[in-house]
Structure formats: structure tokens, C-alpha cells
Structure 1
Amino acid sequence: MNIANHFSLLFVLLSCVWTHTNARFRIIGGQYINIESSPHTVAIVGNRNYYYCVGSIVNYHSVLTAAHSVKNEILANLKVLAGVSEIRSTFKGEGQRHKVENIHYDPDYDPETLFMDIAVVKVITPFDLNSAVKIIPLCDIPAATDSDMEISGWGGTVINSDICSPLLKSKIVKIADGQQCRDPISNTLLSADYAETIMFAGRSGEGICFGDSGAGGVVNGKLCAVAQGGFEEPDYPDLYTNITNPKVREFITRWM
């Protein structure tokens, strides 16, 4: 069954239009930050810096993002922008621009249910680490319910709008009780395997929005989750891939 048909699940869009003229479009409830405050965060863009999604640097050649954002894209058209707070900055020679060599997906990835919605993007040239470009370590254990999780990206603030922010922004959200969140849907939509690969945080109207696919969820300085999408249901939390899950972690480790 397609999740969208049952719950009106509004998955974060793969890409969006960004603008200088309307600076209010940002992560819902978030604030603008400099890239030095979230130096693992990168933008994955296409030709002419057309913005697709967010990613996180996990080693010198690897970025974690959401599979649904980059699946079937032409590798030669993709670039990873690192070390920039503003996407247009690379036109001015700021930050780093890396060509993509390959993208790895789990063979069990399902675009309908977003099972294993995780991808490892490999860049050709290594990231040049500095105060604005840093590798983030991965969480070793699941984050506790009610923990603060920070998300950063260039997404929108209004549901059903495709306008994204040219400026980086950030938001602290609370990790939700996964079992409680799964109860309304697990009997008909989620297999046990799928349920263990996801986690929930924030709530509808506060957190990730269009263009924030792939945004890293950071707890105590470590990457614990990758943004998938959000629900239209009132007060229902956003959906993330849980990278501490053994199946997810094995895939990441294999291709990093």
C-alpha cells in the first residue's frame, strides 16, 4: 500500500526554487546560521546550482543523504557544495564544489514506502577540511526519546510551496516516542523491519519542509538520522531514517 494514499503523507520534495527576494522561507520555526555552526552540512545541486537536497559529510569522500532525492539523477549533473551558508556563494568562488563520482543505494530501497531511504554519495575529490567543512561522526546508540536533535538545511517554511531559502538555517526538534508514533499505522503500513529503520522527531508545522530531504539529525554532536519527509496530519512528527539501525548502519559502513 502506498503510504501517501492512506495518511496523506507529504514527503519532502526532491528540489525547490530558491530566491533572494523572500528570506522568510526556511526550515519551519528555524533560524539562520553560518555554515561554521553546521560544517558537516552540504547542498546537493544540479546544473546552474539547481538545489536538490541536503547531505552530511561522513568522511573525506562520502556524503549521506536521502535516496529519494537523488535516485535516477544523472551523475554528471550533480555537484556537492560544501562550506557555504548561501547556495549562490559558489558563483562568487566561495566554498567547495565537488563533482559526484557515484551514488550507492541499498538493494531493498523502496520508493513507495521509503524503506531504506538512505544513499551514500561519493565525490571525486576529497573534502578540504576547515572551520566550515567538517566530518561528522555517526551515532553509536539510538538517541533517547525527548532528546534535542538539530537539523539544518535550505528548505522551505510553507507546506505546498516549492520556494526554498538561499541561506542555511537550523532548528532544534525533539525526538518523539517511536512506538507511540507507529501505533496508528503499523498494522497496515509498516513491516517490523521497516519500523526499526525509522525514527520520528519534531511535529507537523515545525521542522523539515520542502527541500530538506537528506538533512542530518544531530544529537550531542553526532549524526543519528537522515530526513525523509513529513506528515500533513496535525502535530504528527516528521519521519527520518535511523542510522543506528543495524541494517541501515551496515549499508552505510559498506559504502563509506
Structure 2
Amino acid sequence: MNLLFVLLSCFLTHTNAQFRISNGEDINVESSTHSVAIFIDDTYNCVGSIVNMNSVVTVAHCTIMAEWDKVLLVAGVSDLRQRNSERAQRRNVQRIHYDPGYNEQTKCMDVAVVKVNTPFQRTDSVRSILLRSHPLVPRSSMQVSGWGSLQLNSRTTSDLLKTKSVQIANTQQCKTAYANVLSLNLAETIICAGCGGADVCVGDSGAGGVRNRRLWAVLQGGCEIYGLPDTYTDITNARVRNFITFWMDN
């Protein structure tokens, strides 16, 4: 009964807030220097985080179907209309690494490490972010930034970088909710945050969950229709962290 009440509360919040740009606020890229916009075939697709000047972490489902030579990473700008400006750092892909255990249905190991052909240059608007090793506790918060859709049920993404604080959900309750509502068994590499659709939108996938200038998680997506919390790949999970650090160094 308590679980159903939580889901209903989330659904009502989503219904009342569905046109409020995911409750996000404009943010200057200097406050989110790790954030990278990922374009495929010259169309904005998702977000990544610079973890060293040669490597960007995102979600596997963002790029796994793309040809590497069609992927472009843009860092250093808040407004994607400036992606061809001198301020923007544009990088092509050298290689993209995926874990062989990636499962699209269970969201297991939904993470990718993108290696760029030329290192990013450190500036006031482009910097790497450190990985966190200890998990966040439920009800603590992290910041998520991206260029996702301005409205739910819309595929028109934002030109301007937006940010939102999301609260960590109880992982077991979240997994139980997904199992009960969608008959979906989420993987052990997942944590949940937010209250469904009011937090993230199309195009925010891959955004880093950040707290105290550390990367804690990578946004997979949400299920706003059912008011379920959004799912994130847990950077503090040993399997995920080891995968990332291995390809950062290779």
C-alpha cells in the first residue's frame, strides 16, 4: 500500500508539472564543465561527462547503434547554437567501448566510454570530473545537467544547458516498483532518483549525476507515463567503475 501511494504521488506530481522544462534551470557551462553534448549525424542525441581529457562517459544505448564516424562531441558551450564557434571544442571519436554484459531490457551495464581522437583542452569551461567510489544514501541529492526536451512527450530538445537537483530513491523499493508495474527486473548496476517524468526528458540520457564535483551516476532514462523514478547507472558499483577506469587508461 505504501509503495502504491508513493507511485500515485509521483504520478500526480508529473501531471501537474509536465510543461515545466523538467523543473530545470538554465546553467552556464562553467558550472558544469564536464558536460558534453553528443551529436549523431549532426543531430543532438544525448549527454556525456569528461572523465579525463581523452575519455567521455555516457550510456551505451546512446551510441551503440551509431557509426563512430557519425558521432561528434561538443564541449565548452552552454548554448548548442554556438557549437561551431571558436569557444566550442569539437571532437571526433576514435573508439567507443561497451561492456559485453550490456542488456537493453534490464539496463545492466548501460554505460560506454568514448575515446576522442584529439584530447580536450582544459579551460574555464572544459574540465574533467572525478569518479566517486562510495554510494549516495537515499534522500540525498545530486545535480543532473543536459540539453533534453523542454516538454514531456516532445522530441524538441533545448539549445540551452539546463540543470536539476534530483533526490536519490530507495533502490530496493524502486526495483520492486519496476517489477510490479512493468514486470521489469532492474540490474544490480542501477540506482534510482527523482519522481518520474518531472525530472528528465528525451535527450538527457547520459547526463552525469554530480555531487561535490564527483560523478556518482549516469542517467539512463525515466518512465514518466507510470510515474516511476528515473534510472541511473551506478558509478560507485565496482563492476561499472572498473569498466570505466580500465578504458580511461587504455
- TM-score bracket, normalised by the shorter chain, equals 0.7 to 0.9
The 8 Å contact of residues 107 and 190 in structure 2, kept in 1 or not, is answered as no
The 8 Å contact of residues 27 and 153 in structure 1, kept in 2 or not, is answered as no
Task: Specify the alignment match of 1:99 in structure 2.
Answer: 92
Identity value in percent: 50
Task: Specify the alignment match of 1:45 in structure 2.
Answer: 39
Q: How many residues align?
A: 229
Deviation at 1:235, TM superposition (A): 4.0
Task: Specify the alignment match of 2:247 in structure 1.
Answer: 255
TM-score between both structures, scaled by the size of structure 1 = 0.84
Task: Specify the alignment match of 1:68 in structure 2.
Answer: 61
Task: Specify the alignment match of 1:31 in structure 2.
Answer: 25
Instruction: Provide closer, same or farther for how the CA distance between residues 215 and 228 of structure 1 changes in structure 2, counting only shifts above 3 A.
Output: same
| Aligned partner of 2:194 among 195, 199, 202 | 202
Aligned with 1:92: secondary structure? coil
The 8 Å contact of residues 151 and 218 in structure 1, kept in 2 or not, is answered as yes
Deviation at 1:198, TM superposition (A): 0.4
Could you tell me which runs of 5 or more consecutive residues in structure 1 were left unpaired when the two chains were aligned.
1-24
| Aligned partner of 1:179 among 169, 172, 179 | 172
Counting only pairs closer than 5 Å after superposition, residues 233-244 of structure 1 correspond to structure 2 as: 233-244=225-236
The 8 Å contact of residues 26 and 169 in structure 1, kept in 2 or not, is answered as no
Moved more, 111-120 or 145-154: 111-120
Distance 1:204 1:73 in 2: 28
The residue type equivalent to 1:32 in the other structure is D
Task: Specify the alignment match of 1:56 in structure 2.
Answer: 49
Query: For each residue in 1:211-234, what CA deviation from the matched residue of structure 2 results, as whole angstroms up to 9, or x when unmatched?
Result: 001000002221010011101355
Distance 1:184 1:28 in 2: 22
Could you tell me which runs of 5 or more consecutive residues in structure 2 were left unpaired when the two chains were aligned.
1-18
Distance 2:157 2:227 in 1: 23
Task: Specify the alignment match of 1:110 in structure 2.
Answer: 103
Task: Specify the alignment match of 2:113 in structure 1.
Answer: 120
Aligned with 1:102: secondary structure? strand
The residue type equivalent to 1:175 in the other structure is I
The 8 Å contact of residues 26 and 165 in structure 1, kept in 2 or not, is answered as no
Task: Specify the alignment match of 1:86 in structure 2.
Answer: 79
Distance 1:235 1:137 in 2: 31
Counting helix residues as a fraction of each chain, which structure ranks higher? 2
Distance 1:238 1:69 in 2: 16
Distance 1:205 1:104 in 2: 29
